Amino acid sequence: MLSAVDLAAIWLTLKLATVTTAILLIVGTPIAWWLAGTRSRFKVLIGALVALPLVLPPSVIGFYLLITLGPHGPVGQLTQWLGWGILPFTFAGLVVASALYSLPFVVQPLQQAFEAIGPRPLEVAATLRASPWDSFFTVVVPLAKPGFITAAILGFAHTVGEFGVVLMIGGNIPEKTRVVSVQIYDHVEALEYAEAHTLAGGMLLFSFLVLLALYSRKGRNAWT
Amino acid sequence: MKTQGSPLLAGLLFAATSMVGHTAEVQVAVAANFTAPMQKIAAEFEKDTGHKALLAFGATGKFYAQIKNGAPFAVFLAADEKTPATLESEGDAVPGSRFTYAIGTLVLWSAKPGFVDDQGAVLKKGEFQHLAIANPKTAPYGAEAIKVLTRLSLLDAIQPKLVTGENISQAYQFIVTGNAELGFVALSQVMFDGKLSSGSAWIVPADLHDPIRQDAVILAKGKDQPAAKALVEYIKGKKATAIIQSYGYNL
The enclosing domain of B151 has a CATH number of: 3.40.190.10
Mean pLDDT (whole number) for B107-128 = 94
The answer to whether A88 faces chain B, any CB pair under 8 Å, is: yes
What is the per-residue pLDDT across A152-170, written as a single tens digit (0 to 9) for each?
Answer: 999 999 999 999 999 999 9
Instruction: Evaluate whether residue B45 is within a structural domain.
Output: yes
Q: Whole-prediction pTM value?
A: 0.83
Distance from CA of A180 to the nearest CA of B (A): 15
Q: Torsion-angle region of residue A89: left (phi > 0), alpha (psi -120 to 50) or beta?
A: left
Which residues 136-165 of B are in CB contact (within 8 Å) with A?
137-138, 162-165
The answer to whether residues B48 and B136 belong to one domain is no
CATH number 1.10.3720.10 is the correct assignment for the domain at A4-221:
yes
Task: For chain A, give the percent of residues with pLDDT over 90.
Answer: 77
The answer to whether residues B146 and B97 belong to one domain is no
B65 vs A70: CB contact, 8 Å cut-off?
no
Alpha-carbon Rg for chain A in angstroms? 20
- Residue B85 Cα distances to A46, A90, A188, B216, angstroms: 56, 39, 21, 9
Mean pLDDT (whole number) for B172-176 = 96
A186 vs B135: CB contact, 8 Å cut-off?
yes
- Considering CB atoms only, which of A169, A171, A186 is closest to B137? A186
The answer to whether residues B46 and B97 belong to one domain is yes
Residue A69: what pLDDT?
95
Q: Are A174 and A6 in contact (CB under 8 A)?
A: no
Whether pLDDT at B14 is above 60: no
A89 vs B180: CB contact, 8 Å cut-off?
yes
Q: Is the ipTM of this complex over 0.90?
A: no
Task: For chain B, give the percent of residues with pLDDT over 70.
Answer: 91
Q: For residues A29-67, b (16+ Cβ closer than 10 Å) or e, as one string? A: bebbbebbbeeeeeeeeebeebeebeeeebeebbbebbb
Instruction: Evaluate whether residue B139 is within a structural domain.
Output: yes
What are the residues whose beta carbons fall under 8 Å from the beta carbon of B210, sequence distance 6 or more?
B144, B147
A191 vs B164: CB contact, 8 Å cut-off?
no
pLDDT category of residue A224 using cuts at 50, 70 and 90: very low
- Count of domains for chain B: 2
A66 vs B65: CB contact, 8 Å cut-off?
no
Higher pLDDT, B210 or B198: B198
Residue B11: what pLDDT?
56
Residue B193 domain boundaries? 106-203
Average pLDDT for chain B: 91
Mean pLDDT (whole number) for B213-230 = 96
Distance from CA of A72 to the nearest CA of B (A): 7
